[in-house]
Amino acid sequence: MPEFRLDDYLARIGFRDPVEPNLTTLAALHRQHVSAIPFEGLDPLLGRPVNLDLGTLQRKLVHSRRGGYCFEQNILFKAVLEKIGFQVTGLTARVLWMSPPESPLGPRTHMLLKVDLPDGPRLADVGFGVCVMDTPLKFQTDIEQRTAMGTYRLSEAGGLFCLSAIQPAGWRRMYTFNLEPQIQSDYEIGSWFAATHPAAPFSSTLIMERVSGDKRYKLVNRKFAVEARDGQPLEERTLGTVAELRETFEQTFNIEPPVPVEQVFSRLPT
């Protein structure tokens, strides 16, 4: 197991304050992580392997101009928090974002974290790539939790928790989960399915997202959008050229793809 270099991570996200295992540090790290390290699924789109060992994640997300998807993001964030001294439990969830209410539950293809603090547990998640959370939430059901960029609600029925977010059309379910702790092999299976199965989006769809300040930046294939709080649209356009995609990678997401931008562009449906 390679040494985890906390100082390198803090420099990557621009965090300069002292770190302590408390809510102030947790919230600040969460906020700066999603601003500095974007959600992106370039590797599965390009047919490249997604490796979840900590050494690879440090090289990719910390020491390179790359992001990652949920397993990469939250495994890294879990290591950060544990290095500081937080008590963290890794969980997995079944994504509901695109599923009608009557649909059967799908596989566990998302990772999230429960962080136990003296004043109660928090739900931390820096990797839900269609509605990235800007701050950890109270692990408390049936209350609306307003953040700088969203409004969330956690509900519970039959031992299953469900997290929802307000969007322009109303409440939308994000994912459902229980409190069974997960281990690395659970993440490996979920990540393999998410990266390679035809029913999962990442092998055929480019998804990128970054939350910074009062704006949410999204890229789905060639469709680029900027949103305000609760998903309110501010801008939407289609990237029609390689140059526009390159500029979006560099200026909006601070990403250097692992292959020439032309190769990424050629994989995107029109």
247 backbone dihedrals φ, ψ, rounded to 5°: -65, -40
Pick the catalytic residue from 30, 43, 125, 131. 125
Res 2: pLDDT: 64
Active site residue 162: no
How confident is the chain (270 residues) per 10-residue block, as mean pLDDT? Answer: 87 97 98 98 97 97 98 98 98 95 93 97 97 98 97 96 98 98 97 95 96 97 98 98 98 98 95
What DSSP state is assigned to residue 229? G
Specify the pTM.
0.97
Find the helix packing angle between 70-84 and 6-13, rounded to 10°. Answer: 120
Res 95: pLDDT: 97
Pick the catalytic residue from 30, 33, 70, 131. 70
Res 220: pLDDT: 98
Active site residue 110: yes
pLDDT in tens, 174-228: 999 999 999 999 999 999 999 999 989 999 999 999 999 999 999 999 999 999 9
Pick the catalytic residue from 30, 43, 110, 162. 110
Alpha-carbon distances, residue 155 vs 55, 142, 217 (angstroms): 36, 5, 27
Q: Which domains does the chain have, with CATH numbers?
A: 6-198 (3.30.2140.20)
